[in-house]
Chain A
């Protein structure tokens, strides 16, 4: 059985109009179906407004879809009893793009990371601190950072704290919504490396939502392409992305930037010297 199954999910926003009679419905997701196996990463790419983040929210249980089912370990996450809901919330975590707005500015790093531990586990003070230090060290920070506040960290460091919080309860699935997009290239590659290490260590699964094709390819086992609310293609291997004839995929492929100036796609070619 797959860890996560998404079955024919439809989602639309209704906007009530104040002065005009009928409401307006905007379809965001259309008949989305896919599944994520344990220990794998699905990369979801698409342009802005394709519905990537909405899909992430539907999977996390934040936005109830109008139609369709989201099954996590076989349980429908929008139709649960209290006990299973508790368990699923432990196993399902998220890391967002903007690391600063994802933490409380008045909490220290220690309190930020210990929050999920307090909610779900009964630990003594000493034990809790030991766990927090362990987590900090796992994401490349140290005991010295315990008492620091969010504004004392750089964006990359704070994103590590968000990751530490997400892995604190050893979850099964983490939704990474543009988690590396606002970081510079050095930090980005370090975080991507950390994420793939954690995936191997804990047998984690990821839903990696991004518009950055290179980042998606470096971490994902499967790639899905979302466009205007439809999952237009789903690949098991990266080669399929390069051989696809779909016009949207072609357009995406054409807009990938060259990795070497010799292969640039722009009109002005470069000369030596």
Chain B
């Protein structure tokens, strides 16, 4: 099967007054239809830089992006901003870590939801609203018509993140980039959001690039995993293989040092 999103030999450099610094080097990966690719690494390893490069969100004046990024065969790197705007939100949707910052506080959720739909489709306001309510119902948000009239600060973080996912999913994008989607949420909202992402990929066949530092999130959702460190990929593997039989020393260290509920004497099977 063809890769929906393909990144080949990506190098990102930032130019500063003191010369240029390399942020990520030689990043290559592909995501197939309906698959979830997990991207793991500690803070500062280049996870977010990679996702911003895919969306071409870096400031072109100071940041050099080399390499190839293709979406369904179409090259994205170097595409004019006007063209990219048609792709962002429609073909590639983005879910951020902090849902509170992802919305404008001065407009209602409905206003922002409908604006997103209308900027990519020819629907009128009434149709857009119907679509929004339909999608919100399908992701189990209670009382969508009322939610649309609320302002972002009237909702809890978990609720707002689910609205964000509804907005991301409503135009059935080919790819969703989820950058630490559950890090700011508490346990219960976290599992709701993960379930939701899983539902979207199986119902719409959306491919998801899941960025997280939490190995729990990765083991729940990812099909394949990339481990990054200092701007480079150190290991790429199927998620089962990675957890069963990590190859790189760094991956082994990650798996060994994470907090766990079970002691050595009582392995994972203790839970079942």
Assess the A48–B260 pair: CB atoms within 8 A: no
Within 8 A of A (CB), among B131-176: 156-157
- Chain A residue numbers with a CB within 8 Å of B190 are 255, 257
Check: A24 CB closer than 8 A to any chain B CB. no
Q: A266-B220, A266-B221 are in contact. Are A257 and B191 (CB under 8 A)?
A: yes
Smallest CB separation, B199 vs chain A (Å): 8
Check: A71 CB closer than 8 A to any chain B CB. no
- Chain A residue numbers with a CB within 8 Å of B44 are 154
Give the docked Cα–Cα distance between A49 and B159 (Å).
14
Number of interface residues of A (CB under 8 A): 44
Within 8 A of A (CB), among B188-233: 188, 190-191, 194-195, 198-199, 201-202, 213-217, 219-223
Q: A155-B43, A261-B243 are in contact. Are A188 and B259 (CB under 8 A)?
A: yes
From B63-71, B80-88, B234-242, the one touching the partner chain is B234-242
Assess the B156–A257 pair: CB atoms within 8 A: no
Q: A48-B157, A260-B219, A261-B239 are in contact. Are A184 and B261 (CB under 8 A)?
A: no
- Chain B residue numbers with a CB within 8 Å of A270 are 223, 239-240
Smallest CB separation, A151 vs chain B (Å): 15
Q: A186-B42, A254-B191 are in contact. Are A214 and B238 (CB under 8 A)?
A: no
Check: B272 CB closer than 8 A to any chain A CB. yes
Check: A80 CB closer than 8 A to any chain B CB. no
Assess the B43–A189 pair: CB atoms within 8 A: no
Check: A8 CB closer than 8 A to any chain B CB. no
Which residue on chain A has the smallest CB distance to residue B184? A182
Bitwise interface map of B from 32 to 53 toward A, beta carbon under 8 Å scored 1, else 0: 0000000000111000000000
Check: A252 CB closer than 8 A to any chain B CB. yes
- Chain A residue numbers with a CB within 8 Å of B194 are 257, 266
Give the docked Cα–Cα distance between A260 and B243 (Å).
7
Most chain A CB atoms below 10 A, which of B156, B201, B202, B243: B243
Assess the A256–B187 pair: CB atoms within 8 A: yes
Give the docked Cα–Cα distance between A217 and B195 (Å).
25
Q: Which one of B187, B202, B217 lies within 8 Å of A268 (CB-CB)? A: B202
Q: Which residues of A contact B (CB under 8 A)?
A: 47-49, 154-155, 183-190, 192, 211-215, 217-218, 238, 242, 251-252, 254-268, 270-273
Supply 4 further A-B pairs (C-beta < 8 A) apart from A218-B259, A259-B219, A270-B240: A184-B43, A185-B258, A261-B240, A270-B239
A-B contact pairs, 21 of them (CB 8 A): A48-B156, A185-B213, A214-B258, A214-B260, A215-B259, A218-B259, A252-B187, A256-B261, A257-B191, A257-B214, A259-B215, A259-B216, A259-B258, A261-B222, A261-B240, A264-B219, A265-B220, A267-B202, A270-B240, A271-B223, A272-B241
Q: Which residues of B contact A (CB under 8 A)?
A: 42-44, 156-157, 186-188, 190-191, 194-195, 198-199, 201-202, 213-217, 219-223, 238-241, 243, 254, 257-262, 268, 271-272
